[in-house]
Amino acid sequence: MVISASLCACVFLLTAVRCHSHVLPRLSFPMGSPGRSLTVFTNDDSYNATTLLLSNDEGTLFVGARDTILSINISQTDMTLKEKLDWSPSEKDFNDCSMKGKLKMDCHNFVRVLQVLNSTHMYACGTFAFSPRCIYINSQTFTMVTGPSGKPEEGRGRCPYDPYQKNSAITVDGELYTGTVSDFRGTRPVISRHLSEGSHVDLKLDDTLGWLEDPTFISSTYIHSEEKVYFFFSEIGKEYDFIDKFTVSRVAQVCTSDVGGQRTLQKRWTTFAKAQLLCQADQELPYNVLQDVISLSPPEGASEDETLFYGIFTSQWRVNLGRSAVCAFSLKDIKKVFTGRYKVLNRDTLKWSTRVQEQMANPGECGLHNASDNTLRFVKDNFLADKSVLPVNQGLTVVSPDKSYSNIAAQRVQGARGKYYTVLYLLTESGFLHKTVLLKKGAHIIEEIQVFHQPQMVKSLLLSVSKGAVLIGSSEGLLSVPVSNCSHYRSCAECVLARDPFCGWDLSQRVCKLITTSQNQLAQDVDEGKVSEQCSSVNLRSRSGQPQNTQTLCPPGEVLSVSLNEVINLQCPEASNLAKCHWERLNSQLSPKIFIQSVNGSLSFVATPSTLGHYLCQAVENGYTQTLIVYHIKQKNNPTILPSSPKITPTSAEAGNKTPFSTPTAPKHTELRPKPEDPSSTVAHKDSPATTTRKSKNFTPLISAEEESSWMNERSGNFKQVDKPTYLQELVVVSVLLALCVSALLTIAFNRFRHVCTSRTIAQTPCSRRDVEKGGSATPQERESLRGHSPRLEKRNGQAPNGQSHIGQAHNGKSSITLSNNMLNGSNGHLPNTPI
């Protein structure tokens, strides 16, 4: 029965998994794309930018790297190095590290803690050859100073030994709160407080109580109104004893006013409590492994209970392998769970159960350091909340079926109508940054930007709101990505379809620009992206200076001169990853028997008189139709003789785009691609299918057939003639041979006709050919035949057995006539008096 129940439970879990719809980024910018600029900072002597810290004015970025700490000026467009502080182990430290069995490359000093301590000093800790150390740094002179002991402090419990182990650290009122491990092997996790002064003492968890179970610390944050520090981490969930090594995500809290107990829990936390973070949708397996967490402060004037924590979660289950989910948790829900019931651990059986008796105290409540020993013993055994913290709206904020997110940043942005939107910056393990806006209907990925050539582990991601940049630290160096890219959108339709809360269309200047508090009436629709409502009254003007109405004009076309029976391949530029491309032909339907529309948007067909004319490539996005390019296919005329080797133009067919067609003669393959983009062009060059870059620059709707015909006549001069490879020399040779053959046939026919006319003047008798030449007399029947009254002959059974042909009787009853074989041979097998 137990096996059957377990089997049913497993089947239910597997069948409960639902497939989420794939959220595609609207635009994609590969590395080095001119449509998205990046600022990269590298230093020859600095590697592994693992820790980032912004100054209070956000004009200086402090970077904790390998053996160095850098001070970088980010107040300008480019990042420039201000100061560099070397902090590397000595040769003896390297030798001692190697004696411990560690690789030399791991024995460097990796700075893992970098915090502002006060107005004049910073505090830094590093792994320092698997012997952690901490130093003070003068913020003004950017020099290393000694602490109260006069020498570098030991970093045990403040920084990990291993550079690959995760940790968290935060300073509050000059005190350092850390979550890390306190031993060389990394088996003793600890949440502790350091640098305490006065009545405060350094505190830590009693690791013998099992308060932490092999945790991986992710992040920590301070809530001023609560006077609490919250730690986020993942660990083994011992309460789920029916699953071996089941990972759960946690949030834990400690009060900054805690000073430990007087007798029980001396120099130990009396306010420690933890709860589970449950990132799970209905009828799905949970995303249980926490990767990164960021806090987002509430809007101005709102309660601090509205603070949100956005976390990236992955799953240890095979069915969710390679997926990521983003869940949001509110401070109000976290507080509610911590004020509820708690589980109790049976020390004899090591089993967790929900406490049903009345609680002696509320675990996690501040001020318990003055409580009685019985109360502290109760708190000591009841530190795990009974209920889990559920995500906001009871669902997942973002789901990525095929991308693994590693880091997150968030900010609140005010749109054109004063409405606030939440924008997330999600970094994938493959090296792409996803800029995502959260809407009521779901997440919308505005764009993805490739920031690394090769996938790598990113150590830190930081958002500078005042500078409008996302700062990323990795082994390749430091990168700065602007949060907005409004100038990339060249028309009102593009600007509105982007649904970017940073950008709006200026009706007077006809440009997509960054929204400020003084310019909040720009055309924008982040929630719906309705172009017709925002741009219906806008008289668009292209970058070339030509006015355009949103519903009348198409982009300039391309003229393609082809020969009949050629295979034509028309390429369509991409508008966005969300647009659906299709082809239109004026006053005609595109029959699938004649036209082939490929998955990449190209159109292939054979050039015939019926397939010549205009072709329009259109893209439909969010109910808005835009014409991307117009082709005019016409037949070649007035051919001239060219050299034997035709010049191959950029519009010639590529080997990878051949379309299988079967025609009576071997057709030539013609492919027309949009020309490469230039500042005045409205059509962008189509790149390799390996990248999905932004192509089109002007969005215009499809026009009617009558308007298109009139427009084509008026603007025929705007079509660009595309040179095509010709075979005129071969055509001339074939024409000459054809003329010679026709002349020979005409000559033979003329000779036959003259011979027949001559034979009509000679008397035809049943005698031999010699008698005819001697002018023998003709019978009455033969004379009648010469006058044009020859009886209708009827062939019977072919030739007679004696070699003669029998002619049947005429309808007038006259006797049959027998002709000799000699006469048949003399007239090439045809009857006498019968012209060819």
Q: What is the CATH number of the domain that holds 529?
A: 3.30.1680.10
Q: Do 506 and 605 belong together in one domain?
A: no
Residue 81: inside a domain: no
Torsion sign over Cα 170, 175, 180, 184: positive
Residue 266: inside a domain: no
Q: What are phi and psi of 515, to 5 degrees?
A: -80, 130
Q: Do 784 and 694 belong together in one domain?
A: no
| pLDDT digit string, tens, across residues 31-77 | 888 888 889 898 888 888 889 999 988 999 999 999 999 999 998 77
Burial class, 478, CB count within 10 angstroms (exposed 0-12 / middle 13-18 / buried 19+): buried
Mean per-residue pLDDT, 358-381: 86
Cα 836–chain centre separation: 74
- Distance, in Å, from the CA atom of 296 to the CA atom of 593, rounded to the nearest integer, reads 57
| pLDDT digit string, tens, across residues 79-93 | 999 999 999 999 999
Q: Is residue 617 within 8 Å of residue 572, measured between CB atoms?
A: yes
State whether residue 671 is helix, strand or coil: strand
Residue 486: inside a domain: yes
Mean per-residue pLDDT, 545-554: 40
| pLDDT digit string, tens, across residues 239-283 | 998 888 899 999 999 999 999 998 889 999 999 999 999 998 888
20-24, 36-40, 120-124, 282-286: lowest mean pLDDT where?
A: 20-24
User: Looking at 525, 547, 569, which one is the last position of a domain?
Assistant: 547
Mean per-residue pLDDT, 480-505: 94
Can you tell me which residue has the tokens 């006069």?
150
Percent of the chain's residues with pLDDT above 90: 47
Closest to 211 in 3D by CA, of 238, 245, 242? 238
Question: Considering just the CA atoms, what is the radius of gyration of the chain in Å?
Answer: 43
User: Looking at 672, 701, 726, which one is the last position of a domain?
Assistant: 726
What pLDDT was estimated at residue 55? 92
Q: What torsion do the CA atoms of 466, 467, 469, 475 make, to the nearest 10 degrees?
A: -110
Range of the domain at 525: 481-547
User: Looking at 494, 526, 547, which one is the last position of a domain?
Assistant: 547
pLDDT band at 726 (very low <50, low <70, confident <90, very high): low
Percent of the chain's residues with pLDDT above 70: 74
Q: Do 699 and 786 belong together in one domain?
A: no
- Distance, in Å, from the CA atom of 696 to the CA atom of 515, rounded to the nearest integer, reads 24
Residue 702: inside a domain: yes
What pLDDT was estimated at residue 452? 87
| pLDDT digit string, tens, across residues 472-492 | 998 878 999 999 999 999 999
Q: Do 668 and 792 belong together in one domain?
A: no
pLDDT band at 592 (very low <50, low <70, confident <90, very high): confident
More confident residue, 214 or 795: 214
Closest to 55 in 3D by CA, of 71, 67, 68, 41? 71
Mean per-residue pLDDT, 132-160: 89
The answer on pLDDT for 6 being more than 70 is no
What pLDDT was estimated at residue 760? 53
Q: Do 691 and 820 belong together in one domain?
A: no
The answer on pLDDT for 673 being more than 70 is no
- Distance, in Å, from the CA atom of 771 to the CA atom of 777, rounded to the nearest integer, reads 9
More confident residue, 76 or 751: 751
More confident residue, 447 or 721: 447
Q: Do 499 and 568 belong together in one domain?
A: no
Can you tell me which residue has the tokens 């109405």?
549
- Distance, in Å, from the CA atom of 116 to the CA atom of 529, rounded to the nearest integer, reads 43
Residue 38: inside a domain: no
HSE-CB for 576 with a 13 A CA cutoff: 26
Total domains present in the chain: 3
Residue 796: inside a domain: yes
What pLDDT was estimated at residue 630? 93
What pLDDT was estimated at residue 823? 38
What pLDDT was estimated at residue 169? 97
More confident residue, 686 or 413: 413
pLDDT band at 96 (very low <50, low <70, confident <90, very high): very high
- Distance, in Å, from the CA atom of 344 to the CA atom of 356, rounded to the nearest integer, reads 10
Q: Do 563 and 539 belong together in one domain?
A: no
Can you tell me which residue has the tokens 């983009």?
677
Q: Do 538 and 578 belong together in one domain?
A: no
Q: Is residue 639 within 8 Å of residue 731, measured between CB atoms?
A: yes
Residue 707: inside a domain: yes
φ/ψ region of 748 (left if φ > 0, alpha if ψ in -120 to 50, else beta) reads alpha
Q: Do 580 and 689 belong together in one domain?
A: yes
The answer on pLDDT for 652 being more than 50 is no
Mean per-residue pLDDT, 774-795: 43
Q: Do 574 and 692 belong together in one domain?
A: yes
What pLDDT was estimated at residue 14? 37
Q: Is residue 596 within 8 Å of residue 659, measured between CB atoms?
A: yes
Q: What is the CATH number of the domain that holds 580?
A: 2.60.40.10
What pLDDT was estimated at residue 8? 39
Residue 66 is classified by DSSP as B
Q: What are phi and psi of 702, to 5 degrees?
A: -75, 140
Q: What is the pTM of this model?
A: 0.74
- Distance, in Å, from the CA atom of 490 to the CA atom of 753, rounded to the nearest integer, reads 76
Burial class, 406, CB count within 10 angstroms (exposed 0-12 / middle 13-18 / buried 19+): buried
Residue 239: inside a domain: no
Measured in residues, the chain has a length of 836
Closest to 548 in 3D by CA, of 557, 559, 540? 540
435-439, 618-622, 638-642, 772-776: lowest mean pLDDT where?
A: 772-776
- Distance, in Å, from the CA atom of 571 to the CA atom of 685, rounded to the nearest integer, reads 10
What pLDDT was estimated at residue 671? 53
- Distance, in Å, from the CA atom of 658 to the CA atom of 648, rounded to the nearest integer, reads 16
Q: Do 633 and 679 belong together in one domain?
A: yes
| pLDDT digit string, tens, across residues 206-225 | 766 779 999 999 999 999 99
71-to-64, 246, 438, 481 alpha-carbon distances in Å? 9, 42, 34, 19
Q: Do 649 and 711 belong together in one domain?
A: yes
Average pLDDT score, the chain: 78
